C-alpha cells in the first residue's frame, strides 16, 4: 500500500504541474544543469510582463514592464525537493517490501531464522541468569531439556513453519527480534517449538 501511495502521489504531482516530462524531477534537473531557459523548458517561468500604473499630476499612465517572479524560483526548488523525496521514499519502500517478502516467503530464509534462534536458545547459559529471573530460568531450562535431543532437520523445520507457526508468526518474530532483541525472539521461537513438539507427542500417543 505504501508503494502504491507513493506512485499515485508522483502521478498526481506530475499531473498537477502539467509538465512535458514523465520523470519531471530528472527533466527539471537536466534543464538546470544545461542552462535551458523557462521559455524552452516550460518550467516555472521566472520572468513575465506586468502592467504598472504610474500616476502623475493630472494624468495616469499604464506601462508594461518585465517582472521577476521570485516566488517561482522557490516553488521550483520546493517541488524539485519534494519529487526527489518521493522517489527516494519509493525506492526505499520497494527495497523494504522485497526484503520482507523474501524473508517471509522464501523457505530457506525462514528455516535459517528459526534454526539460528533455536541454536541461540540451546547455547544460552541459563544457569547464569540473575536470581530475580529464577522462574524464567526454571521454565526455560525445563523447556530446553524437553526437546534438546531433537534434530533440526529441514523436514521438521518445514513442518513447523507451514503447519505449526505459519508465515504470520515468522513475520511477527522478525519484528520482535528487530525491536525487542534476539534474546526475547529466541525465547519466543523456543516456546513455539516446544508447543510444536508437545503437539506432535500427543498426536503420536493418541
152-164 burial: b if 16+ Cβ within 10 Å, else e: eeeebbeebbeee
pTM, two decimal places: 0.62
Query: What are the pLDDT digits (tens) for 151-174?
Result: 667 777 777 887 777 778 888 888
As a dihedral over the C-alpha atoms of residue 25, residue 28, residue 34, residue 40, rounded to 10 degrees, the angle is 150
C-alpha cell at 129: 541468569
Tell me how far apart the alpha carbons of residues 134 and 141 are, in angstroms, rounded to a whole number.
10
Q: Phi and psi at residue 49, in whole multiples of 5°?
A: -105, 135
**What confidence score (pLDDT) does residue 141 get?**
52
Q: Phi and psi at residue 144, in whole multiples of 5°?
A: -60, -45
- Residue by residue, pLDDT tens for the chain (206 residues) are 888 888 888 888 777 776 666 667 777 777 767 766 655 555 677 777 888 787 777 777 788 888 877 787 788 788 888 888 988 998 999 999 898 888 888 888 888 888 888 777 776 644 444 443 344 445 455 555 555 555 667 777 777 887 777 778 888 888 888 888 878 888 888 888 878 777 777 777 66
Q: Which residues neighbour 7 within 8 Å (Cβ) at sequence distance 6 or greater?
A: 90
**What confidence score (pLDDT) does residue 168 get?**
82
Query: What are the pLDDT digits (tens) for 111-142?
Result: 888 888 877 777 664 444 444 334 444 545 55
Listed by start position, the domains of the chain span 2-44+70-97, 106-205
Tell me how far apart the alpha carbons of residues 144 and 123 are, in angstroms, rounded to a whole number.
10
Amino acid at each position: 500500500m505504501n508503494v502504491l501511495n507513493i506512485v499515485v502521489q508522483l502521478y498526481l504531482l506530475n499531473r498537477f504541474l502539467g509538465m512535458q516530462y514523465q520523470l519531471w524531477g530528472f527533466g527539471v534537473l537536466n534543464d538546470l544543469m544545461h542552462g535551458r531557459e523557462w521559455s524552452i523548458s516550460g518550467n516555472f517561468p521566472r520572468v513575465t510582463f506586468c502592467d504598472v500604473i504610474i500616476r502623475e499630476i493630472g494624468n495616469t499612465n499604464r506601462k508594461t514592464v518585465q517582472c521577476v517572479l521570485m516566488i517561482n524560483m522557490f516553488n521550483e526548488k520546493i517541488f524539485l525537493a519534494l519529487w526527489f523525496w518521493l522517489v527516494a521514499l519509493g525506492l526505499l519502500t520497494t527495497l523494504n517490501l522485497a526484503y520482507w517478502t523474501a524473508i517471509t516467503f522464501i523457505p530457506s530464509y525462514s528455516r535459517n531464522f528459526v534454526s539460528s534462534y533455536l541454536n541461540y536458545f540451546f547455547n544460552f547459559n541459563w544457569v547464569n541468569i540473575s536470581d530475580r529471573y529464577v522462574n524464567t530460568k526454571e521454565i526455560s531450562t525445563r523447556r530446553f531439556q524437553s526437546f534438546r535431543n531433537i534434530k533440526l532437520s529441514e523436514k521438521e523445520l518445514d513442518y513447523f513453519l507451514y503447519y505449526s507457526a505459519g508465515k504470520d508468526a515468522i513475520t511477527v518474530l522478525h519484528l520482535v527480534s528487530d525491536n525487542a532483541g534476539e534474546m526475547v525472539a529466541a525465547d519466543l521461537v523456543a516456546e513455539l517449538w516446544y508447543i510444536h513438539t508437545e503437539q506432535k507427542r500427543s498426536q503420536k500417543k493418541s
